[in-house]
């Protein structure tokens, strides 16, 4: 599903955010990316969501080297993945429904289906009654969940979440992670960047630890396992 091979990212200002990172994530796996802030977690997710391109190395998603993707193919690629941001990136002047519907609208889904899938997504995050509210009328935790609903509404095969629980209390954090786990159980690959060690311990999933842009104790062999994919 996701395969990084000797990936490095150096920003134009000269900062080396990632150095020689390699790993493989299987379909339906839920993997945590941990490390201190500034360790390169966000950069890693940005490379996978194609918000940045690697300086060296290759990033394969769904068997495709996305670093070489042409600009006109980027929108179609982004529709296959759901991205959750710490600052949720919602449209503050649009109601919850419109925010969650946006990925479906840009994908050209027919209206009845949009309504169904938006409500299903909001139901999954427990916000079904708040479709007509503006993001500012919601609590921070609810806003975060709207962002998650938007990420899953398009039924992506991969969800990438950057500190999705950064603004949530422990209980809500656990709830959000359970949500992600449920998605992974139905075959969605989930990659979560977090600095919250408790969460990782609680869920006990695989962990990719970054330290100053380098992997600590990561897979020495970046090649996929030879067993059949789920």
Partner 1 sequence: MSPATLATRHVQALLGALGRLARSPLATVFTLLVIGLALTLPAALGLLLTNAEAATGGFVQAVDMSVYLKPGVSLQQAQRLAERARTIPGVKNVRVISAAQGLREFRKYSGFGAALDALRSNPLPNVLHIVPQPAASSAVDLERLRRDLAAWPAVDMVQLDAQWALRFNAILGVLRRLVSTAAVLLGAGVLAVVGNTIRLEILNRRAEIEVTKLVGGSNAFVRRPFLYTGMLYGLGGAVLAWLMLEAVLIGLTGPVARLAQLYGSGFVLRGLTGRQCGVLFGGGLALGWLGAWISAHRHLRSIEPRA
Size of the site for partner 1 (CB under 8 A): 28
- 124 burial type by CB count under 10 A (0-12 exposed, 13-18 middle, 19+ buried): middle
- Cross-strand bridge partners of residue 230: none
Q: Please count the other Cβ atoms lying within 10 Å of the Cβ belonging to residue 220.
A: 7
| Distance of closest approach, residue 2 Cβ to partner 1, in angstroms | 17
**Residue nearer to partner 1 on the CB measure, 124 or 181:** 124
Q: Is 38 helix (H, G, I), strand (E, B) or coil?
A: coil
**13-42 positions binding partner 1, by CB under 8 A:** 42
Cβ-based nearer residue to partner 1, 181 or 195: 195
CB within 8 Å of 73: residues ≥ 6 apart: none
| Residue 175 token pair | 């709830």
Distance, CA of 40 to CA of 34 (rounded, Å):
9
Segment interacting with partner 1 (CB under 8 A) among 55-63, 77-85, 170-178, 203-211? 77-85
66 binds partner 1 (CB under 8 A): no
Q: What x/- string results for residues 93 through 112 when contact with partner 1 is judged by CB under 8 A?
A: ---------xx-xxxxxxx-
Please report how close the Cβ of residue 100 comes to partner 1 at its closest, in angstroms: 10
Q: Contact 12/19 with Cβ under 8 angstroms? A: no
- Among 7, 18, 30, 45, interactor with partner 1 by CB under 8 A: 45
Contact predicate 9/55, CB 8 Å: yes
Q: How far is the CB of 217 from partner 1 (least distance, A)?
A: 26
Footprint on this chain of partner 1 (rule: CB under 8 A): 42, 45-46, 49, 51, 72, 75-79, 83, 85, 89-91, 102-103, 105-111, 150, 154, 162
């Amino acid at each position: 599903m996701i395969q990084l091979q000797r990936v490095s990212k150096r920003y134009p200002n000269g900062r080396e955010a990632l150095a020689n990172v390699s790993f493989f994530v299987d379909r339906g796996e839920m993997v945590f990316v941990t490390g201190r802030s500034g360790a390169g977690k966000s950069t890693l997710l940005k490379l996978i969501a194609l918000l940045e391109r690697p300086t060296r190395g290759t990033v394969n998603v769904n068997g495709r080297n996305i670093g070489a993707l042409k600009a006109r193919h980027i929108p179609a690629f982004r529709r296959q993945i759901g991205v959750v941001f710490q600052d949720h990136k919602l449209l503050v002047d649009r109601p919850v429904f419109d925010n969650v519907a946006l990925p479906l609208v840009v994908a050209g889904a027919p209206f009845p289906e949009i309504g169904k899938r938006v409500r299903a997504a909001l139901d999954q995050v427990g916000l079904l009654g708040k479709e007509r509210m503006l993001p500012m009328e919601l609590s921070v935790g609810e806003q975060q969940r709207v962002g998650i609903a938007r990420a899953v509404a398009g039924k992506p095969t991969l969800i990438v979440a950057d500190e999705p629980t950064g603004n949530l209390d422990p209980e809500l954090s656990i709830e959000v992670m359970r949500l992600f786990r449920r998605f992974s159980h139905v075959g969605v690959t989930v990659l979560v960047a977090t600095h919250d060690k408790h969460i990782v311990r609680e869920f006990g999933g695989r962990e990719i630890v970054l330290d100053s842009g380098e992997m600590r104790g990561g897979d020495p062999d970046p090649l996929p396992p030879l067993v059949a994919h789920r």
